[in-house]
Amino acid sequence: MGGFFGAISKRDVTLDIFFGVDYHSHLGTRRGGMIIYDEQDGFQRQIHSIENTPFRTKFEKDLADFHGNAGIGCISDTDPQPLLVRSHLGLYAISTVGIINNAEELVEEYFNGHARQFMAMSSGKVNSTELTAALINQKDTLVEGIRYAQEVIDGSSTILILSPDGIVAARDRLGRLPVLIGQNEEGCCVSFESFACTKLGYSNAYELGPGEIVKVTPDGWETLAPAGDKMRICAFLWTYYGYPNSNYEGQNVEVMRCRNGEIIARSEKAKGALPDVDWVAGVPDSGVPHAIGYANASGKPFARPFVKYTPTWPRSFMPSSQAVRNQVAKMKQIPVPELIQGKKLLFVDDSIVRGTQLRETVDFLYGAGAREVHMRSACPPIMYGCKFLNFSRSNSSMELLTRKTVQELEGDEGQKHLEEYADASTQRGACMLKSICKKLGFDSLGYQSLDGLLEAIGIDRNKVCTYCWTGKE
């Protein structure tokens, strides 16, 4: 994933950028960057690895070198950025969030018949932000260039540009990610997370529509290109990677998660399927509010048999190595044995992706004396890897627990019936559920339904991307 923050004001914005970017640290674990513009001294930039040191610690020593009334910064889980670009469109800094699935094709088109080059390389590949800038620079204006880039990119691209004239922000063509504008008496900010604005003294003033491009100055903002009429905002903003006190499309993350858990419990109660347990618990941190909602609706008490030690550990699905993912998950979760021994436990997780860490967790719980372990997923079975965002580093959808289970049950023929497997009410769906339950050692397993998830989100379902569950764009 990744996230960005920008600010432009009648005063120095260095600290706003520093803290605003830091408030997006939950969205990535690899790179952080800041660039500040001063009318007299120009651009000042720093990019650091944040794989072993948090953004705030890494950049604190740089603050004395920054000054200016406008700036942008980012957390990136892919390439180093923001980049400083000079072209016929002028000198500007650029940061992007998204994914370019057809990067090699676009690079080859860019090279054909021209003496051109790319300088910023990431793991032997062209930096996706530099590629985006190269696409933009093929047109006569920034707006034309941004529109062109977003049209030819297979995937998504949300863009933040800082120039001497101001900040230009562009939400991706189908609004898969949010972009918000905050405002105070001295200037404006641009952010993914709404709470970053309010914590820095800006009021949440405007949320860009899908594909909308705006120019932001200390005096306000103006739309340079209007929003489109189609939206596919990512549902995982609410279920998993959005911060609890953020709002997207008017819907708060924490409220949605509690409501989501309530809907799961309500559905099970209606079916007479509520298990008899001592505690309802969340897999921390993102599973906790889902579990609170489940506990409230089921009448079962909430407890915390596992506690997350520190938020500085990377999200366990992000590292490319499975061994590293397993070790991270093990190290950051600290058990409370007194709440485990002799207890029947029900855990609610935000999602079940690969499931590789859950087997180890269940074994530990039984080893610590748990009588029963039940698991609920706060979203439906994930059947497809995301191709619109850098959400996970899976190399293939076949790494997903569901797809591997289908392959084990029915081979290649099963891959033709994924819709049935995703529905627990069908014979195939019930069979997959039983197989996963046995494989991971649960006493019972349940998934939130797609209808229940969309009800919890609370916006028009046609505006929500559900590709990872349905395979439908």
Q: What average pLDDT does this structure show over 25-30? A: 89
Span 411-422, average pLDDT: 94
Band (284; pLDDT cuts 50, 70, 90): confident
Nearest Cα to 312, choosing from 287, 285, 283? 285
Distance set, CA 361 to CA 95, 176, 330, 331, 364 (Å): 38, 33, 8, 12, 5
CA geometry: angle 108, 212, 45, nearest 5 deg = 65
Mean residue pLDDT of the chain comes to: 92
- Looking at residue 356, its pLDDT comes to 78
Q: How far is CA 456 from CA 129, 228, 251, 463, in A?
A: 34, 25, 10, 14
Band the pLDDT of 309: cuts 50, 70, 90: confident
pTM value > 0.95: no
**Cβ atoms < 10 Å from Cβ of 118:** 15
List the structure tokens of 147. Answer: 């529109």
Residue 375, phi then psi, degrees to nearest 5: -130, 140
Query: Is residue 382 within 8 Å of residue 467, measured between CB atoms?
Result: no
Question: Does residue 320 register a pLDDT over 60?
Answer: no
CB neighbours of 459 closer than 8 A, spacing ≥ 6?
Answer: 233, 249, 250, 251
Q: Give me the percent of the chain exceeding a pLDDT of 90.
A: 79
Strand, coil or helix: 155: strand
Residues 403 and 144: their CA atoms lie apart, in Å, by 41
- Note the pLDDT of residue 52: 81
Burial class (CB in 10 A: 0-12, 13-18, 19+), 350: buried
Q: What's the CATH number for 251-470?
A: 3.40.50.2020
pLDDT classification of 360: cutoffs 50, 70, 90: confident
How many C-beta atoms surround the C-beta of residue 409 within 10 A?
Answer: 15
User: Mean of the pLDDT values across residues 37-54?
Assistant: 93
Q: What pLDDT is recorded for position 317?
A: 44
Q: Which of the given ranges, 202-211, 308-317, 324-333, has the highest pLDDT on average? A: 202-211
Q: Where are the domains of the chain?
A: 2-231, 251-470
Q: For position 335, what pLDDT does the model report?
A: 85
Q: Determine the Cα–Cα distance for residues 319 and 52; give it in Å rounded to an integer.
A: 12
Question: Each residue of 458-471: pLDDT tens digit?
Answer: 999 999 999 999 99
Enclosing H/E stretch for 22: helix 14-22
Q: Mind listing the pLDDT tens digit for each residue in 148-198?
A: 999 999 999 999 999 999 999 999 999 999 999 999 999 999 999 999 999
Q: Which residues 6+ apart lie within 8 Å of 231 measured at CB?
A: 174, 175, 209, 210, 463
Check pLDDT > 50 for residue 316. Answer: no
Report domain 2-231's class: alpha beta
